[in-house]
Amino acid sequence: MLVIFRLIAAAAVALAVLTGGGGAFAGLGQPSHWQMGLQEPASPIMDDIVWFHDFLLWIIAAISSFVLLLLIIVVVRFNSRSNPTPSRTTHNTVLEILWTVIPVVILVVIAVPSFRLLFVQLTTPQADLTVKATGKQWYWTFTYPDNGAFEFDSLMLQENERLKDKADQPRLLAVDNEMVVPVNKVVRVHVTGADVIHSFAVPSFGVKIDAIPGRLNETWFKATREGMYYGQCSELCGKDHAFMPIAVRVVSEQAFTAWVAQAKQKYASDHGSVPTAFAAAPAAKIE
Ligand SMILES: [Cu+2]
């Protein structure tokens, strides 16, 4: 009896996830408690990724249910008690053609939106702005070549630096200097690594690309809503890999112009300098 109750509970959870219950738990720009789905999308690419993910989930659920049904039929109808003298049939042409053709059709149906998504992700449209993100052990450096080539380092806020009552300074994600971009503009991101391989990833934008020393990778996003969006280094890069978050603030175009004017002054002295002091800094203390 208990087993049946557990099965019913598991089915109810699966149904809730399938019918989009997961989406209700997802946060915008950062993870949320009890989150089950992907983070809320804030770019056309992430909209497509979420659609593709849900589409695949239905296909996977249908295939798994079908296989489970076949297994149950075999167990019940063809065990040695109910079927003491098994049939000796070995071939069935129609069945063999079907179980070859149907999976091929399913794979083609999956491949079409999958390749379309890959092409859209890898083809940068006419960019309004370029930002270079350099992964370093263990922080990010952002450069704005189109806006006067100023450059600044973005380090995670330690527990004692963080304003705990501020919702936009989440633990292990808030940084001292955020990357700022204008809303509804195509931002081209040039990504590279200064020491080892890192990975630039912001879930709500659907962006994830390796930061490889000696190589310039390119990705893009168009943020459709203003706000704070957090990501993390997504390639194991050393002991403080978990403590080099990416924080992107999406603002209006006017606010962006104002920020650029102010940032040019603020980071003027940083330009071209190599902040080796950070590389040799003691380990981040996380409580
Ligand atoms: Cu890293």
201: confidence class by pLDDT, cuts 50, 70, 90: very high
Distance (Å) from CA 210 to ligand 1 centroid: 9
Mean pLDDT computed over every residue of the chain: 87
Q: What pLDDT does residue 276 have?
A: 46
Residue 153 pairs with which residues in a beta bridge? 141
Give the tens place of pLDDT for each residue, 145-161: 999 899 999 999 988 88
Q: What pLDDT does residue 96 have?
A: 95
Distance (Å) from CA 111 to ligand 1 centroid: 32
Distance (Å) from CA 156 to ligand 1 centroid: 12
Residues with CB under 5 Å of ion ligand 1 are: 198, 233, 237
Question: Is the predicted pLDDT of residue 47 greater than 60, yes or no?
Answer: yes
Give the tens place of pLDDT for each residue, 109-147: 999 999 999 999 999 999 999 999 999 999 999 999 999
Distance (Å) from CA 237 to ligand 1 centroid: 5
Question: Is the predicted pLDDT of residue 95 greater than 90, yes or no?
Answer: yes
Distance (Å) from CA 80 to ligand 1 centroid: 58
Distance (Å) from CA 148 to ligand 1 centroid: 27
